[in-house]
Amino acid sequence: MCSPVARSSLPAMISAVPSPGFYPDPHPEAPAGQFRWWDGESWTAVTHLAETAATHVGSDFGLEAEPHFYGDESPTTSTSTLSTSAEMVAEDVSAWFGDHLVLDRVSLKMEASRVTALIGPSGCGKSTFLRILNRMHELVPTARMNGRVLVDRDDIYNARYQLTEARRKVGMVFQKPNPFPAMSIYDNVLAGLKVTGKKVDRDAKDSIVEECLRQAGLWNEVRDRLRHPGGGLSGGQQQRLCIARSLAVRPRVLLMDEPCSALDPTSTRRIEETISEIAAMVTIVIVTHNMQQAARVSDFCAFFLASSDEPGHIVEHGPTDAMFSTPQDPRTLDYVSGRFG
């Protein structure tokens, strides 16, 4: 997919690159859609942008940050409102790392415009399941899966379904805030648009930035310093900036992997308020170990469990109120009441 290229072999027009990222290949004989990745030391030719973005950027199997992506500023139509949320359904999902089965035939419907919390002790497959929901699992070495994941009845694992389309429809917010630290707040919000190939009018960028920062509950705090680096924000503000960045691509579903675990109580409360405010516009699936948080923010819960001789599976799922007050399985009651886990 990629081959190293000496920096001296590129024309002078990109001989001094400001930061790591994807750049259009300027060679006259380069095929359409050819890009090069600059890592700060050397160039790499790229033929499959989406897959290479996942390989080159971030530390969590290359998927904890969207890549910096330059060029191709041709405008198309502007976007002013979020897409409607989508129902997501997992059908008989099983997952392996090598020969180790970590999830066994998990099925779950995640209602549109609702918050579904995935709860359960560490090591029961919650985060693996979450990554399967937007095709991150397949990029982990030795990983494989069976089953289907439907977004409004379309299987995102169908061979004809493009990976970039899955990324656009199903966004992700990670446990650790990961804005581009040297990139401005303004450019951080717009960064995801480049990765997914979504183009907007130049005049529409300002409105998209303001809209998404408002939806993430951050606009009033940063409106006077949009050109300041995103890395200068507090941890909670950085996480809300990542939410704004995800919202900018107009996802139908937003996945959150313990988004508050590294934050203080005040920042956690603000993130929870943001979740409540955007849930009507985008379906949210959140992994959390905080039972109080699950009770506060979610409409539905799914309780995952695994053991030494049994892979991860769903013990019980249903409306959050019922899961916490009158669960059907005694193991669910033990977990939500703090008797184990």
Residue 51 confidence (pLDDT): 39
Task: For residues 233 and 184, give the distance between their C-alpha atoms in angstroms, rounded to a whole number.
Answer: 11
Q: List, for residues 283-302, the tens digit of each pLDDT value.
A: 999 999 999 999 999 999 99
Taking each helix axis from N to C terminus, what angle separates 235-248 and 202-215, rounded to the nearest 10 degrees? 130
* Backbone angles phi and psi of 217, in degrees to 5: 70, 30
Whether the CB-CB separation of 38 and 17 falls below 8 Å is answered with yes
Domain 78-341: give its CATH code: 3.40.50.300
Burial class (CB in 10 A: 0-12, 13-18, 19+), 9: exposed
Residue 69 confidence (pLDDT): 37
Kindly report the number of other CB atoms within 10 A of residue 32's CB atom.
6
Q: Which two tokens stand for residue 146?
A: 């069976």
Closest CA to 333 of 299, 311, 301, 286: 301
Closest CA to 112 of 151, 82, 86, 83: 86
Residue 130 confidence (pLDDT): 95
Sheet-wide strand order for 43-46: 2-5, 43-46, 35-38, 21-24
Residue 20 confidence (pLDDT): 46
Residue 49 C-alpha from the chain's centroid: 17
Q: Which residue has 């030494």 as its token pair? A: 308
Burial class (CB in 10 A: 0-12, 13-18, 19+), 33: exposed
Residue 252 confidence (pLDDT): 93
CA dist 64 → 54, 256, 311, 336 (Å): 9, 12, 26, 29
Domain boundaries, the chain: 2-56, 78-341
Low-confidence ranges of the chain (pLDDT < 50): 1-20, 32-33, 38-42, 46-82
Task: For residues 110 and 141, give the distance between their C-alpha atoms in angstroms, rounded to a whole number.
Answer: 28
Task: For residues 92 and 157, give the distance between their C-alpha atoms in angstroms, rounded to a whole number.
Answer: 13
Confidence (pTM): 0.76
Residue 27 confidence (pLDDT): 54
Residue 165 confidence (pLDDT): 82
Residue 213 confidence (pLDDT): 95
Residue 83 confidence (pLDDT): 52
Helix (H/G/I), strand (E/B), else coil: 267:
helix
